[in-house]
Structure 1
Amino acid sequence: MTKISIKILSISILCLLVMAGCGNQKSDAENSKAILDTISLSNKDFALAYQDGNKIVATSIDTMKQISFGGATNPAISPDGSKLAYTVKDTAEHTGIWVADMENKSQSQLKVNSDHYDQAVWSPNGGSIAFTVINGKNVWKIAVIKSDNTGYLVLDSASKTHVYSPTWKNEKEIVAQDLVNLYTFDVAGKLIDTKPILSLLGKDFTIASHNRFFYTKDQQKIIFTAGNKDVLHGLTGPSEAVYLLDLTSKKIERISPEGMNVPYVFVTADDRIFYSGTKAPFTQNKIYVSDLKGNSKLVVDQGTNPTAALK
């Protein structure tokens, strides 16, 4: 994979300890369990989910109510806060996405025809999930599936080009990039727009496979992460930050503060910008939330890969 690979951590497939229905499993993917720190999974009070070391944490926005469990990565909380998608890896090195219903305590794996799929992201109303998947030709693609686990479809399946980091432009359109172009697909897989990244951003930014592009609610701006030319002493590798591009004026403004390395951003359908970043000595990532004007505040003192529900 080019530049920076999509990160898939080595973890065992899970069956949440409090969840029923595990039965008599036969595969490696169904034999191991995660450890849940609390048994309270009821109510729709969960507004934020993030990674904390080798566990996932789901919490209320004020962090007063919280659950966590190990053995999973890359959380994605649904817009209504009732479901949580996450990536797991079994003993055969297969990666897949599971979805936990935090109200009825059930969980299931997405029905995908691949041994490697990752990076779930919910559509604005929670009706579908987009994600990355390796197809039969060992090429990373974007796929979509309905929230009821039906209708699995690989987008742009005929192309030989890797495509990365899906986001939702709206309920019917999915955005992804291949390091060169920013693509928009409809949910039926039709390519409906192509924007050269260089023409959008200019030469001052570098793009890697994990960089994501989110359209704002009015679809007039794009929020993204990218590598920059900042020199941050003590940081290994290039520095990254969160930026906002005005598609009309072509002006780019920085959202995350200078002196911080920010490789991950998530934008809710109501235009709240969540990102994880670290400052010198670049050892502990924290999670922040910002508005479109760059007014940021600290949300979580230790964590990465935030994803949030709607208010």
Structure 2
Amino acid sequence: MTTFKSHLTLAIIPCLVIFASCNPNNNDQTKSTAILDTVSLSSKNFALAYQDGQKIVATSIDTMKQISFGGATNPSISPDGNKLAYTVTDSAGSRTIWVADLENKSQSQLQVNSNNYYQAMWSPDGNSIAFNIFNSKNLWKVGVIKSDNTGYIMLDNASTLNVYSPTWKNENELVAHDLTNLYTFNTSGKLIDTKAIADLIGGDFALASSNHFFYTKDGRKIIFNAGNADSLEGLTGPSEAVYILDLASKKVDRISPKGINVPYVFLTADDRIFYSGYEKPFIQSKIYVSDLSGTIKTVVDKGTNPTGALK
């Protein structure tokens, strides 16, 4: 069963509350009346973005400088920390991706001919954005667009493959999966490689369409989260954890400790692993950061769906 971890039940405001109103050129959106809850954006270096209930928070890595705003989900901060991509869901349930410039306060909707695309992922150099998109054949595909909102392309649109949770393997290639296989596409839209997930990580893991696979910078390892056989008293549903796969040895090591359920993981282009996880009584999620060797620090005491910029 493919289960998306969506936020459709949230009360969505069409625009970031950083700004006084929505893009004046979009007549279908209503104005936002929410107000930024910090005094100034000047001299702030953003390194992390995450979800906190019905708002998004952008913060420095030490959390001493931060802004927060409502009306958006699926935060994705650019590698330089200056832009933020996010999903907006309207009253009809349509999902679209917008990009906010945190320096000049501008915002714009990605120019994509669809009313159901979400889950933005910046390329390592910040020049492109990938995302999941529902096509006219009712299939999930990968869309890619340049960060200046030009050059949109849907990858592998002619095939009958459903693919989920795209990530960047490098500047020229992306990966996505269909619960069974991990596919590699080039940025021209061609499918160039297919690997059986069971051959990579074994058959002891349970996958959902929201699970991600990230290649490390050197291409030698894969970071992923997946369901496991842990029995966590008080947890409703399966437990998930973060793992690292060494492609040469095919050895899989666990990154997140036992006792924590991890439904979301993100790898920065400089190989830092951010993830959000719940400990017993599984009510409040914290955000952690780890290196590839498994040295873990708690970053935020309350939050989900983290993404990080470069150091």
* Structure 2 Cα separation of the partners of residues 146 and 74 of structure 1: 19
Could you say which residue in structure 1 is the equivalent of 2:210? 210
Could you say which residue in structure 1 is the equivalent of 2:93? 93
Could you say which residue in structure 1 is the equivalent of 2:4? 5
**Equivalences for 1:1-311 in 2 at 5 Å?**
2-9=1-8, 10=10, 11-18=12-19, 22-23=23-24, 25-27=26-28, 29-43=29-43, 45-311=45-311
* Structure 2 Cα separation of the partners of residues 296 and 178 of structure 1: 30
TM-score between both structures, scaled by the size of structure 1: 0.95
* Structure 2 Cα separation of the partners of residues 17 and 56 of structure 1: 11
Give the secondary-structure state (helix, strand or coil) at the position aligned to 2:169.
Answer: strand
* Conservation of the 8 A alpha-carbon contact between 1:25 and 1:31: no
Amino acid at match of 1:69: F
Which region of structure 1 is more displaced relative to structure 2, 133-142 or 248-257? 133-142
TM-fit CA distance, 1:292: 0.5
Amino acid at match of 1:117: Y
* Conservation of the 8 A alpha-carbon contact between 1:44 and 1:81: no
Ranges in structure 2 where 5+ consecutive residues have no aligned partner: none
Which region of structure 1 is more displaced relative to structure 2, 89-98 or 246-255? 89-98
* Structure 1 Cα separation of the partners of residues 68 and 184 of structure 2: 34
- Calculate the aligned-residue CA RMSD, in Å: 1.5
TM-fit CA distance, 1:192: 1.1
Q: Structure 1 residues 183 and 38 mapped into 2: Cα distance closer, same or farther (>3 Å)? A: same
* Structure 1 Cα separation of the partners of residues 32 and 65 of structure 2: 27
* Structure 2 Cα separation of the partners of residues 25 and 245 of structure 1: 45
* Conservation of the 8 A alpha-carbon contact between 1:175 and 1:182: yes
TM-score between both structures, scaled by the size of structure 2: 0.95
* Conservation of the 8 A alpha-carbon contact between 1:119 and 1:165: yes
* Structure 2 Cα separation of the partners of residues 55 and 15 of structure 1: 10
Q: After superposition, what is the alpha-carbon deviation per residue over 1:201-234, rounded to whole angstroms, capped at 9, x for unaligned?
A: 1111111100000001110000000000000010
* Conservation of the 8 A alpha-carbon contact between 2:164 and 2:209: yes
Give the secondary-structure state (helix, strand or coil) at the position aligned to 1:170.
Answer: coil
Which region of structure 1 is more displaced relative to structure 2, 84-93 or 109-118? 84-93
